[in-house]
Amino acid sequence: MSEVKQGEKEVRVYIMGREYKVPAGLTIMKAMEYAGYRFVRSCGCRGGFCGACATVYRVKGDYKLKMALACQETVEDGMYISQIPFTPAEKPVYNLEELSPSPNVILEYYPEIAKCVSCNTCTKACPQDLEVMNYVQAALRGDFQEAATLSFDCLTCGLCAIRCPTEIVPYNIALLARRLYGKYVIPKANHVEERIKEIESGKFDEEIQKLMETSVDRIKEIYEKREIEPE
Amino acid sequence: MSIKIVRGYPEYMREHIEAVEKTRDKRLKETFPLMRLEEREEILKKFHPDYKEEAKRPVKVGPNKGDRMPHEVVDLLESHPLVEPEDIDLSKVDFDIDVLIIGGGGAGMTAALWANYSGIDAENIIIVQKLRLGDSNSIMSQGGIQAADKPNDSPALHYLDVIGGGHFANDRELARRLVLDAPQMIKWHEELGVIYDKETDGTMITIHGGGTCRKRMHSARDYTGLEIVRNLKDEIINKNIQVLEFTSAVDLLTDENKQVAGAVLYNMETQEYYVAKAKSTVLTTGGFGRLHIQGFQTTNHYGATADGIVMAYRAGAKLRDMDAVQYHPTGAAYPEQIVGLLVTEKVRGLGAQPVNKNGEQFVYPREPRDVEASAIIRECYERNNGIETPTGMRGVWLDSPMIEILQGEGTIEKKIPAMLRQYKRFDIDITQDPMLVFPTLHFQNGGIIIKENAETPVKGLFAAGEVTGGTHGKNRLMGNSILDYSVFGRIVGINAAKHANNASIGKLTLDHLTKYEKMLKEAGVETNRKAPILLPEYREEKVLSRALDIF
């Protein structure tokens, strides 16, 4: 099944330099498929959530290289398109159980973070429009809350790392910062812990067992009569 | 013809948006009533796509012979294997391991970690993943995960919601396991470092989902799936668990004792095959959204092509509820670039109402998904109260600006940033204007039959997550899919590990494929189709019709 409904207008795009005419209004991803490409790499969720389709492009007449997700960006006339199927960036192995939420941890695993020159190139590269440089700086000074909050919508597409002139890997630093923050800084939910204890003590077993043995007709009544928590 | 676009929407739609704005104050004070069970049944029968008999046919072969399923599913079950048994040299084993996990989404990664916690060394576990590790529906899930962990809630109420949403057709033991293990999976996520939306004292912020009687939806903005998956993925890497990316399983292996014994793997890039022999084989391949059942658009990721169903069926596993397809009530209907993509149920959970072209409510905003979807189809097609898009699609409004009024300005940016961002990319500001939505193919409610310990009746074969059936009956509720892959991912990991400690594999064979081919022939199935299909085909007909297989 084709995902494309042919538009009336066509635009000229250059997929890795090779010219194709495609209907206007398509995303880069669908335009490439229209042209005849079948993805194995560089295509994941197709919905802006996974970062598999990191793409670099330039529009004729402009010297600037731009970054996008192929599934979220509409083609323009004169677009030169190339995808980045894989980022060979550093991802050190660690045991989170043995770490603590201290700035030293970030420096230990990602010492190059100290070389950040605040050029903001990473921020410009981010297809999610995140404040990448600011979260890198927050991680560097040990402000894990800020680092986690600013980096939360990161899809780990890798474009920031590809662009960084000092070889920092912002998205993996953010991952470590978020995990430290989530595990060690945010208070645990007591009510979750308590419910687990109740379940383990068998508190609900009899009630559920009874429901399981109830006939469908009777359980329909119970279901319809259950109280709905108001807004 | 060119259409004038005003703040992201064609000018003619602005008039309908005005109708929505006009009734907003009134609607803020009143909610359309919930349907009774009989009303639900009636609307489903008339409008839900599952009830279209002409869209289904009985499967001619195998354990479910005679069962009616969507044509798209039957087509796959009535297909030839991709490999000829005589082309595969089974005497040369490339991987000899304890636990082979096929599918590297949420269920697969959870299974791998729990197999590892249960004593299986990382080098004796392999995750086979046809795209990148984590590329799955799991990563796309936005709205949240259910767990009855608040004082006013109980697993029994969660259980009632699960089976009521599933039309009381659920496997009751699986449903019980789902609700009872929910809180401990939330705790495990917290320990991994998953950042759920919380109050400052650590209390979970929870909201309603469709069909819930308590507010038990836990979320992480509207990137809940992403947040969980990236934690799981990092752990898989930290534990050094082997992952074969861009590699598919194309069929299961059996041995002379008729137990499943691993799989034939296929490198999607080099086209080389590998023989992977395993004491326990776990299917966590997810669902079938990319089959585009009945021509529906889908929210699903690129690889959701039902591979696991096909492989398991040939090996003798039985399926259930394969006729129960979940159409998410709110897929994007406009703009064209994102048609079919998910508009999370959290939008309704935060208070947005579905509204027709006249600005009227026509359904309670949070009916179970199948009922809500049917009401939207009825509104668009029987009552003709939908809004038509420039490409001829119809949809209804989802009044997102209500969220800002009900929950305070800035809520959308804070709680559903993915939605805000997705529409902003196409110049639509959902804090000011509603979103146009129509049901979209979202989830495979049915699947492989498993027991409570995630075993299939076929020895050596386990399954968890969307590929399985029973837990959700005929219709899954929001927030129960992350929960499903977490609960049963853990269970399958533990039990696959246990099984591997005692199992021994005999001589590898692909005899079950030869047998299946014979069954197809005897049933009179004549076809060139081959399955699993591994990835959908989206190249244009004009290209495909001229493609030469010469390089």
pLDDT tens profile A181-218: 999 999 999 999 999 999 999 999 999 999 999 999 99
Looking at residue B3, its pLDDT comes to 80
CA distance B25 to B402: 9
Tell me the average pLDDT across B164-171.
97
Tell me the average pLDDT across B6-18.
95
In contact, B313 and B78? CB cutoff 8 Å? no
Residue type, B422: Q
Of A127, A139, A219, which is closest to residue A177 (Cα–Cα)? A139
CB atoms A50 and B140 under 8 Å: yes
- Please check the confidence at residue A231 and state whether its pLDDT lies above 90: no
- What is the token pair recorded at A82? 């190339």
Q: Catalytic residue numbers of B? A: 328, 348
Looking at residue B551, its pLDDT comes to 82
In contact, B484 and B178? CB cutoff 8 Å? yes
Query: Where do the domains of chain B lie?
Result: 5-50+328-441, 81-133+166-179+220-324+445-509
Nearest CA in chain B to A150: B414
CB atoms B301 and A47 under 8 Å: yes
Tell me the average pLDDT across B517-529.
98
Termini Cα distance of chain B? 42
Confidence band, pLDDT 50/70/90 cuts, at residue B549? confident
Cα angle value B325/B329/B334 (rounded, 5°):
120
Fold matches, B5-50+328-441 and B81-133+166-179+220-324+445-509: no
Residue type, B434: P
CA distance B522 to B60: 10
Looking at residue B212, its pLDDT comes to 97
Looking at residue B42, its pLDDT comes to 97
Which DSSP symbol is given to A187? P
Residue A92 sits at the chain B interface (C-beta within 8 Å):
no
- What is the token pair recorded at A179? 């995990």
Note the ipTM here: 0.96
Residues from chain B that touch A47, judged by Cβ atoms under 8 A, are 140, 299, 301, 338, 341-342
CA distance B409 to B388: 30
CA distance B393 to chain A (A): 11
CB atoms A91 and B163 under 8 Å: no
Q: What is the set of domains in chain A, with CATH numbers?
A: 10-83 (3.10.20.740), 96-185 (1.10.1060.10), 190-225 (no CATH)
Compute the count of residue pairs across chains A and B with CB atoms less than 8 Å apart. Answer: 232
Looking at residue A8, its pLDDT comes to 62
Per-residue exposure over B176-200, b if at least 16 CB sit within 10 Å of its own CB, e if not: bbbbbbbbbbbbbbbebbbbbbbee
Q: Which residue has the higher pLDDT, B22 or B551?
A: B22
A50-76 confidence digits (pLDDT tens): 999 999 999 999 999 999 999 999 999
Looking at residue A6, its pLDDT comes to 47
B142, B174, B184, B337: best mutation site toward chain A, by most A Cβ within 10 Å? B337
B498-510 confidence digits (pLDDT tens): 999 999 999 999 9
Alpha helix (H) ranges present in B197-345?
A: 224-238, 307-314
CB atoms A180 and B221 under 8 Å: no
In contact, B20 and B435? CB cutoff 8 Å? no
Nearest CA in chain A to B536: A1
Q: Element (H or E) spanning B449, and its range? A: strand B447-449
- Please check the confidence at residue B24 and state whether its pLDDT lies above 50: yes
Residue A225 sits at the chain B interface (C-beta within 8 Å):
no
Tell me the average pLDDT across A15-31.
96
Q: What is the DSSP string of B89-125?
A: -TTS-SEEEEEEEE--SHHHHHHHHHHHHTT--GGGE
CA distance A180 to A192: 20
- Please check the confidence at residue B370 and state whether its pLDDT lies above 80: yes
Of A26, A47, A204, the CB nearest to B341: A47
Tell me the average pLDDT across B135-160.
97
- Please check the confidence at residue A88 and state whether its pLDDT lies above 80: yes
Average pLDDT, chain B: 97
Of A36, A181, A229, the CB nearest to B213: A229
Give the CATH architecture of domain B5-50+328-441.
Alpha-Beta Complex (3.90)
Which DSSP symbol is given to A220? H
Q: Element (H or E) spanning A194, and its range? A: helix A190-200
Residue A55 sits at the chain B interface (C-beta within 8 Å):
no
Other CB atoms within 10 A of residue A159 CB: 27
The dihedral of CA A3, A27, B540, A23: what is its sign?
A: positive
Tell me the average pLDDT across A27-39.
96
In contact, A158 and A67? CB cutoff 8 Å? no
Cis peptide before B532 (omega within 30 of 0): yes
Instruction: State whether residue B153 is helix, strand or coil.
Output: coil
CA distance A135 to A123: 10
- Please check the confidence at residue B150 and state whether its pLDDT lies above 60: yes
CB atoms B543 and A187 under 8 Å: no
Chain B contacts in chain A segment 59-78 (CB below 8 A)? 72-74
CA distance A91 to A174: 11
For the domain B81-133+166-179+220-324+445-509, what is the CATH code?
Answer: 3.50.50.60
Other CB atoms within 10 A of residue B15 CB: 10
Of B220, B142, B421, which is closest to residue A68 (Cα–Cα)? B421
Cα angle value B271/B274/B275 (rounded, 5°):
155
Of B474, B468, B500, which is closest to residue B487 (Cα–Cα)? B468
Which residues are within 8 A (CB) of B258 and not within 5 positions of it... i.e. 6 or more apart? B316, B459
- Please check the confidence at residue A139 and state whether its pLDDT lies above 60: yes
Termini Cα distance of chain A? 42
Looking at residue A2, its pLDDT comes to 46
What's the predicted TM-score (pTM) here?
0.97
CA distance A120 to chain B (A): 21
Beta-strand relationship, B394-398 and B354-355:
antiparallel
Residue A24 sits at the chain B interface (C-beta within 8 Å):
no
